[in-house]
Amino acid sequence: MSDIKFRFTEQQLEKLASNNKRIRYFDSFLPGLVLDITKAGRKSFRVYKKIPGRANPVSVTLGYFPSLSLDVARRMARKVMADIADGINPNDTKRQFRVASVTLIETFDAFLEARSLKPITVRGYEQTMNCYLTDWHSKRLADINQTMILKRHRKITEQSRAQADLTMRVMRALYNFAKAEYKSSEGRSLFPDNPVDVLSEKRVWNKVKRKTTRLRRSQLKPFLEALNKVRDEAIMYRQNDRVAFCDYIEFVTFTGLRKMELLQLPWSQVFMEDKLYLLKDTKNGEDVEFPMTTKLVEIFERRKEYKVSPYVFGKATGKGWLTEPKKTLAKICELANVQITLHDLRRTFTSIAESNGVSGYRLKRLLNHLTDQSDVTAGYTILTAEELREPA
């Protein structure tokens, strides 16, 4: 960038052109005032000066010429230079003003844009924002204080202890994001305090215990018998979607896999000859190969007979895969006289595997759980699908 110094006048500034390169002109009358001209010919007044004690000059944009006259630019420049002489970075003042006006929903949108989140995770965040924080969307993030956090947590707790904690975990994540995202020129956070910390200080987190429901061993046989009965009736009456739901529920029972990772399994990731299937882009971000047991081969073969889309648990309409197995699961539970959810089947699989002596590393791999990074041994334990076949 070319630099030229002379005493600015309105007439001379009007004559200046970019010549297809960026040029910076310095005002000899008021040192520190510059005019930058972009390649496109746009002219902007700036103050370019060092803050005492710092090595690099700061550049503060004043406005654009000729909309901003030279006389006004010089008056503004003197004020900016006075702040700089006092050790104040005017850009921080502007930044703080902008940050002070950022709203909760703007922060949320920026958070989603900055994170690589799966659609199901985004839907969960959006549901929390729209169910419990709608009236805060337009509030400035800087105006939400500890008292408001305490009151909102208490109010949501009256409806659901779990949702109250979940909502505040979302709020905590947004403030942590803002703390890292909005900083001064020196790298200091403009949101150093997280008001959600008050819940820990006052020890008022609900700390909802994790569910422990699962099928007991004595319930497993009646459950599978009920599942077979519902599926046989569905086959008889050509209720193909219900047949697919039964196959899916049985698959989950014998694998403990997560709901959407399995529902969206395409045939292109099933290798019948090798008796393997592949889950891509799983919850922990990894692609994982799993072995087919005898029971799974049986299910895959039946799904081939009912193939209606590119997906194993396919549906002829919509996105091509099944959506919600709750009604079919409820029918099975009614016949078996049990009360469980789909995730309870994952716990059932885990509990039975543990009681049958499947090692911790193999079980984590079968469930596609991440291993703690502090576990050095786990980093050396590489289990192939073939090595998982017997424990599966």
Give DSSP secondary structure letters for 175-190: HHHHHHHSB-TTS-BS
Which pLDDT score is estimated for 185? Answer: 59
State the residue for tokens 């786990």.
378
Report how far apart, in Å, the C-alpha atoms of 269 and of each of 63, 311, 312, 368 are: 58, 9, 10, 17
Half-sphere exposure of 155 (CA within 13 A, CB side): 10
Q: Where are the domains of the chain?
A: 2-88, 104-201, 217-388
Per-residue pLDDT tens for 182-224? Answer: 876 566 777 889 999 999 999 999 988 877 788 998 999 999 9
Task: Measure the CA–CA gap between 303 and 265, rounded to whole angstroms.
Answer: 12
DSSP result, 239-297: -HHHHHHHHHHHHHHHH---HHHHHT-BGGGEETTTTEEEE-S-TTS--EEEE--HHHH
Nearest residue to 254 (alpha-carbon basis) of 288, 294, 283 = 294
Could you confirm whether domain 217-388 is CATH 1.20.120.1730? no
Which pLDDT score is estimated for 54? Answer: 79
Task: Measure the CA–CA gap between 234 and 247, rounded to whole angstroms.
Answer: 11
Pair type for strands 2-6 and 23-27: parallel
Running DSSP on this structure, what letter comes out for residue 135?
G
pTM of this prediction? Answer: 0.67
CA-angle at 241, arms to 236 and 242, nearest 5°: 60
**Between the CA atoms of 77, 82, 87 and 88, what dihedral angle is there, to the nearest 10 degrees?**
-60
User: 2-88 has which fold?
Assistant: Double Stranded RNA Binding Domain (3.30.160)
**For residues 89-107, b (16+ Cβ closer than 10 Å) or e, as one string?**
bbebeebeeebeebbbbeb
Task: Measure the CA–CA gap between 341 and 86, rounded to whole angstroms.
Answer: 65
Per-residue pLDDT tens for 314-343? Answer: 998 888 999 889 999 999 999 999 999 999
Q: What order do you get walking across the sheet with 276-279 strand by strand?
A: 270-271, 276-279, 288-291
Task: Measure the CA–CA gap between 299 and 201, rounded to whole angstroms.
Answer: 52
Q: Which long-range contacts (CB under 8 A, 24 or more apart) does 272-281 make?
A: 272/297, 272/300, 275/389, 276/385, 279/368, 281/118
Task: Measure the CA–CA gap between 392 and 362, rounded to whole angstroms.
Answer: 9
Nearest residue to 144 (alpha-carbon basis) of 115, 168, 109, 122 = 168
Which pLDDT score is estimated for 373? Answer: 46
Classify residue 330 by burial, with Cβ atoms within 10 Å: 0-12, 13-18, 19+: exposed
Q: What order do you get walking across the sheet with 57-65 strand by strand?
A: 2-6, 23-27, 33-37, 43-50, 57-65
Written as tens digits, the pLDDT of the chain (392 aa) is: 456 889 998 998 988 887 788 888 999 899 989 898 888 888 889 888 888 877 788 877 888 898 888 998 899 889 878 887 877 777 666 666 566 678 899 999 999 999 888 888 899 999 999 999 999 999 989 889 999 999 999 999 999 999 999 999 999 999 999 898 887 656 677 788 999 999 999 999 998 887 778 899 899 999 999 999 999 999 999 999 999 999 999 999 999 888 888 999 999 999 999 999 998 877 766 788 889 999 999 999 999 999 999 999 999 888 899 988 999 999 999 999 999 999 999 898 888 878 887 766 677 777 665 554 444 344 444 566 677 777 76
